Structure 1
Amino acid sequence: MDHDPAVTDLSALGGFFVLRTGAPPDGALPTLAEAYRARDAGVEKEVYANPVISRVRRVARSVRTPEPRVAASIAHLGLAARLWSVALGAAALHDRVPDLDPRLLRWDAEASAPDELWLTEVRTLPAERIGEVVREGHLVPLAAAIRAQLPISARLLWGNAASALMGAVRQVERWALLNGRPEARVRARALAAELFTHPELSDTLDPETYRRRSCCLYYRLPGGGLCGDCCFDRPPGRT
């Protein structure tokens, strides 16, 4: 187990910020790089050949939805939130981000946070590389892996990414206020502002209210309502 402070003190920020390090209990877990490459395995093949689709199916069972694209959106939002939280939390606290190279990050598609991610080697990068680490390293190939198998729009997935990023920012801000760490809040806000200038994220949220401009489909769950940043004022009619 590694004890680099860039990751070991992230638990103070909340469960989504925790990153396990070292070898996972099950050494057979795939890396996220392998999970992203499995997009060519096909939806109907053995689920263990495609961890991303396995995760979508697990979420579908958990939230009791028969709609694969709804489960895919929720699964994507959860993983995006984990990745942004770990990276932004470390950047806010230490002005460094862990290198979340998909080849170093093992993923248990059947587990939930914080036990689904294991970083096998801890090394850090300058905070300003957070976009490269999360957006390019994970969100681009993750979206490709999901969209290769399921009919879900890229706009929705980038909306999820934006919502997850703002959720991480707000949590860092709450923690910083309670713990007298104003510099952490400043770093988080500055990094997020820069990240939102990227073409894929720049038009995903209303700049005044931070409400989404796309829907994550949560309202389509049994008993589902609207998220706090939903683009709708009331759940749309279902067909």
Structure 2
Amino acid sequence: MNLDPDLAALRPLGGYFVLRTAGAAAGPLPTLAQAYATMSPDVCGNSLIFRVGKVADSLRVPEVRVAASVAHLGLAARLWSVALGCAALYGRVPDLDPRLLHWDADAGTPDDLWLSEVRPLPGDAQTLADVVLHGHLDPLSAALRAHYRLAPGLLRGNAASALAGAARELDRWARRHGRTDTAARARSLTAELLAHPLLTGAGSLTGTAFRRRSCCLYYRVPGGGLCGDCCFTRPPRSSPQAPSG
């Protein structure tokens, strides 16, 4: 099944999976390539720093590194959802080159993305790794590490957790609609991707349940509690040196 220009098959899956494809709608919004490359301290000219600040304000969290982790996890979830959803439903993925993907850093959740051109690629695990891990999460993590000193293990855990979450939602949808082939493909691709050198060791997958080995720091958000795949069984005492991977 070929990709259609509007990626319409993603729409029933929900907001994290939907991708706008009208290039004109992106208007003056920056591309993700610009966001990854521009890590100056000028908040007005830096969409990534702006996004982290917006998340911090929204969550009322005093620690900017917590907001940076949550922002990273949200964007990773969007990218994995689009890529894995297309691979499972179409057997193909769109080229998500950061130069083609526009981002509204001032939008709510989930992150609002526009793809200026739909270029089909194979839907295998290696292509998904190239498109998402190497194309986005590598440069995104490097930018966030440089500015917010997030631990590599935390970011690797976020990437794996976001993938597992996308797979879990896709599996639920597929089973509800009798799409056992889609569910099986999503599980197979997810298992292959979690064995990738950039994700291996980030956690353990049992069926569709994932348990990560690092903490995303969400428990430090006021009233946040623990995520469903957290490495902790109860929130640790808050401290500046709480384990994060």
TM above 0.5: yes
CA distance in 2, matches of 1:131, 1:21: 22
CA distance in 2, matches of 1:90, 1:53: 29
Task: Check whether the contact 1:169–1:192 (CA below 8 A) recurs between aligned residues.
Answer: yes
1:147-162 pair list within 5 angstroms: 147-162=145-160
Label 1:211 to 1:83 Cα distance change in 2 as closer, same or farther (>3 A).
Answer: same
1:133 aligns with 131
Identity across matched positions, percent: 60
Q: Which moved more, 1:178-187 or 1:111-120?
A: 111-120
1:1-239 pair list within 5 angstroms: 4=4, 7-23=7-23, 25=25, 27-39=27-39, 41-42=40-41, 45=42, 47-113=43-109, 116-128=112-124, 129-208=127-206, 210-239=210-239
Shift of 1:180: 1.1
Label 1:115 to 1:148 Cα distance change in 2 as closer, same or farther (>3 A).
Answer: closer
CA distance in 1, matches of 2:135, 2:189: 17
Label 1:207 to 1:178 Cα distance change in 2 as closer, same or farther (>3 A).
Answer: closer
Matched AA of 2:179: R
CA distance in 2, matches of 1:215, 1:190: 25
Shift of 1:210: 2.2
Root-mean-square deviation over aligned CA pairs = 1.5
Task: Check whether the contact 2:60–2:222 (CA below 8 A) recurs between aligned residues.
Answer: yes
CA distance in 2, matches of 1:24, 1:68: 34
Task: Check whether the contact 1:56–1:68 (CA below 8 A) recurs between aligned residues.
Answer: yes
Shift of 1:207: 4.1
Matched AA of 2:118: V
Shift of 1:124: 1.1
Unaligned runs of at least 5 residues, structure 1:
none
- Between Structure 1 and Structure 2, how many residues are aligned? 233
Task: Check whether the contact 1:97–1:127 (CA below 8 A) recurs between aligned residues.
Answer: yes
Shift of 1:219: 0.4
SS of 2:102's equivalent?
strand
CA distance in 2, matches of 1:113, 1:226: 19
Shift of 1:233: 0.6
TM-score, length of structure 1 as denominator length:
0.93
CA distance in 2, matches of 1:162, 1:115: 18
